[in-house]
């Protein structure tokens, strides 16, 4: 049941956040079920020495604290005429508070602070107390009697879940009502919630004259039967003073005894499944809506990345700037065919292209060549990819901004959190993408070299063409190499600047050899698009953009995945498998 407990805790946490901001009210069945799941986890800590828990609940001024005193035979619980006086879980234990019992209770009230009864204040509602009392000797087993806040007053909205949490671990429930309150909707709503618990139940019709009780009790029995509730019922008349209270206190204790004997080991997982099945769709409707929002976001990301891929193909692969890739292949080819006088400088220059700018500048200094400002330019392919990323980020943030004005508060909160994380991570996404582009280009250089190798292999099958290229009148032209470096690459467009290279270019681009080169170029473009799409767009960007949801603020969100919800549904028996 661990996965169920985690999910219920997350659902309740979100409702509590919405409750604080006035957006939502808290589902009482969810409070009870989450407490049951938590109790199922911690109850083993106490072992067989765990006392029975008798929980006294009821609406405003139904006499809960007085009933605690009657059941214990003490004056430990503070009873006041003021409505809503009790606002905390207050336990009164009939035996010594052993370490394992103390630990068990502190684990159960894990989010609340334990304080002494005298230190409970209305300013801090997340607190509880446990007090040792010398109860009547007539109880044969250790018992903790729990006094609880009311659940129906206007002010109880801030603390009414306390009673529901206590009902989760009750071994016996004493439900207090009066002739004014017994028919209230809040009373029967609470009884309906606890019905699946099948906890031994004692209904105490308090402060009711006998003649009024004679009319109310038959109706009360009928309503209990219709609600599927089995309960003992006792009437306590209104007492003007406490001098004659002991007789009625004794009647109350006697009515409790048979219920204490009915306490058996409860199948809590079964109870959790029973309640959760009834309310699951209501509890998770907004959580599933968040999952739909994530699917919408992922679809938008996929569409935007498709546009980025198409734009890259238009701007680079099919544009004039693609010569950058061809230049790199041509440098490799020139190395392979070993053109006299030019091969060695090209090899050194080609290596320089992979160095940082300071290395290239050092190369110029050693050769005593002038360095022109801006000589080392950004790789054209990288520049295009970075521009496309910038447009992508702006487009996606614009899309999330538009969604903020739509839908309910769940939609707005989800898109707001996503908008903020895009804004927060845009710079790091850009930096990481630049590194990823460098890594991709280093890997793709192998395919560029392979294209040149393929062309060289073709030339080897045509010795006349190969020898013609080798015997071309090419002289070492340091100026051409410098110009090539300044423009960011070495290739045909740079080498054409040297008149001596005209015959070399013509031999490569004309006739059958030229057609073969076009085929090599088409294959290279196809491979390059696949590499960019697979390595940069799909593997890097799509994963990063889809993953923003996991790193954005979860404030105000359920943050439950489809796999988590499916696992809980399987555990609850809501789906097969």
Distance CA 563, CA 209 (A): 57
Average pLDDT over residues 387-398: 94
Residue closest to 486 by CA, chosen among 335, 378, 340: 378
Of residues 509 and 317, the one with the higher pLDDT is: 317
The pLDDT of residue 513: 65
Please write the tens of the pLDDT for every residue from 168-201: 889 999 999 988 888 888 889 889 988 998 899 9
Contact 441, 540 (CB under 8 A): no
The pLDDT of residue 280: 93
Tokens representing residue 515 in the block: 């057609």
Q: pTM surpassing 0.75? A: no
Q: Find the range with the poorest average confidence among 169-183, 342-356, 514-528.
A: 342-356
Among positive and negative, which fits the CA dihedral 282, 283, 287, 288?
A: negative
Sheet holding 232-236, edge to edge: 113-114, 127-132, 89-93, 143-147, 52-57, 172-178, 201-206, 232-236
The pLDDT of residue 559: 85
Distance CA 63, CA 69 (A): 10
Among positive and negative, which fits the CA dihedral 492, 496, 501, 502?
A: positive
Counting residues of the chain whose pLDDT is more than 70, the rounded percentage is 76
Beta strand 143-147 pairing with 89-93: antiparallel
Contact 77, 90 (CB under 8 A): yes
Distance CA 194, CA 189 (A): 9
Q: Find the range with the poorest average confidence among 38-42, 275-279, 313-317, 354-358.
A: 354-358
**Neighbouring residues of 500: CB distance < 8 A, sequence distance ≥ 6:** 473, 474, 475, 477
Within 13 Å, how many C-alpha atoms sit on residue 299's CB side? 6
Q: Find the range with the poorest average confidence among 280-284, 326-330, 495-499.
A: 495-499
Please write the tens of the pLDDT for every residue from 434-474: 999 999 989 988 888 888 888 788 878 877 777 766 665 44
The pLDDT of residue 365: 43
Q: Find the range with the poorest average confidence among 62-66, 131-135, 499-503, 552-556.
A: 499-503
Distance CA 279, CA 276 (A): 5
Average pLDDT over residues 381-402: 93
Distance CA 79, CA 147 (A): 10
The pLDDT of residue 335: 67
Helix (H) or strand (E) holding 127: strand 127-132
Please write the tens of the pLDDT for every residue from 8-32: 988 988 888 765 555 557 888 999 9
Residue 424, φ and ψ in degrees, nearest 5: -70, -35
Residue 301, φ and ψ in degrees, nearest 5: -60, -45
Residue 369 pLDDT level (bands cut at 50, 70, 90): very low
Contact 163, 151 (CB under 8 A): yes
Within 13 Å, how many C-alpha atoms sit on residue 133's CB side? 28
Residue 114, φ and ψ in degrees, nearest 5: -85, 130
| Sequential DSSP letters for 255-311 | HHHHHHHT-----HHHHHHHHHHHHHHHHHHHHHHHHHHHHHHHHHHHHHHHHHHHH
């Amino acid at each position: 049941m661990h996965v169920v407990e985690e999910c219920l805790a997350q659902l309740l946490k979100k409702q509590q956040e919405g409750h604080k901001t006035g957006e939502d009210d808290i589902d009482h069945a969810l409070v009870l079920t989450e407490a049951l799941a938590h109790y199922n986890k911690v109850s083993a800590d106490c072992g067989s020495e765990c006392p029975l828990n008798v929980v006294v609940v009821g609406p405003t001024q139904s006499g809960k604290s007085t009933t605690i005193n009657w059941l214990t035979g003490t004056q430990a619980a503070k009873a006041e005429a003021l409505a809503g006086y009790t606002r905390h879980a207050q336990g009164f234990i009939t035996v010594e508070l052993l370490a394992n019992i103390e630990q068990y209770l502190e684990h159960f009230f894990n989010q609340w602070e334990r304080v002494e009864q005298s230190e409970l204040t209305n300013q801090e509602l997340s607190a509880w107390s446990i007090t040792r009392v010398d109860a009547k000797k007539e109880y044969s087993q250790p018992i903790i009697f729990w006094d609880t806040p009311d659940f129906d007053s206007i002010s109880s909205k801030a603390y009414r879940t306390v009673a529901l949490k206590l009902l989760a671990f009750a071994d016996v429930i004493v439900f207090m009502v009066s002739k004014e309150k017994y028919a209230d909707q809040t009373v029967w709503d609470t009884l309906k919630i606890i019905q699946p618990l099948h906890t031994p139940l004692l209904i105490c019709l308090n402060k009711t004259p006998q003649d009024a009780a004679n009319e109310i009790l038959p109706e009360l029995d009928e309503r209990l039967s219709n609600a599927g509730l089995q309960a003992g019922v006792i009437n306590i008349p209104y007492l003007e003073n406490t001098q004659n209270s002991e007789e009625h206190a004794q009647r109350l204790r006697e009515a409790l005894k048979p219920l204490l004997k009915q306490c058996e080991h409860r199948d809590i997982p079964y109870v959790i499944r029973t309640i959760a099945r009834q309310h699951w769709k209501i509890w998770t409707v907004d959580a599933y809506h968040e999952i739909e929002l994530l699917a919408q976001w992922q679809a938008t990301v996929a569409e935007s990345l498709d546009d980025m891929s198409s734009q890259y193909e238009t701007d680079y692969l099919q544009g004039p700037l693609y010569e950058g890739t061809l230049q790199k292949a041509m440098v490799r080819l020139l190395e392979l065919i070993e053109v006299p006088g030019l091969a060695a400088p090209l090899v050194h220059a080609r290596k320089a292209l992979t160095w940082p700018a300071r290395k290239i500048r050092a190369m110029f200094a050693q050769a005593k060549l002038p360095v022109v400002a801006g000589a080392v330019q950004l790789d054209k392919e990288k520049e295009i990819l970075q521009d496309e990323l910038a447009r992508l980020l702006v487009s996606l943030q614009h899309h999330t901004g538009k969604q903020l004005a739509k839908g309910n508060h769940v939609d707005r909160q989800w898109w707001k959190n996503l908008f903020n994380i895009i804004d927060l991570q845009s710079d790091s996404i850009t930096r990481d993408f630049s590194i990823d582009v460098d890594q991709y280009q280093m890997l793709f250089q192998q395919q560029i070299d392979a294209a040149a190798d393929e062309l060289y292999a073709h030339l080897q099958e045509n010795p006349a063409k190969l020898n013609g290229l080798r015997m071309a009148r090419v002289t070492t032209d340091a100026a051409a190499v410098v110009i090539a470096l300044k423009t960011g690459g070495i290739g045909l467009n740079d080498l054409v600047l040297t008149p001596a290279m005209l015959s070399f270019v013509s031999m490569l681009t004309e006739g059958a050899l030229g057609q073969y080169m076009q085929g090599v170029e088409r294959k290279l473009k196809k491979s390059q698009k696949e590499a960019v799409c697979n390595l940069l767009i799909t593997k890097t960007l799509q994963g990063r953009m889809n993953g923003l949801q996991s790193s954005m603020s979860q404030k105000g969100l359920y943050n439950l995945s489809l796999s988590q919800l499916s696992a809980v549904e399987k555990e609850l028996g809501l789906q097969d498998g």
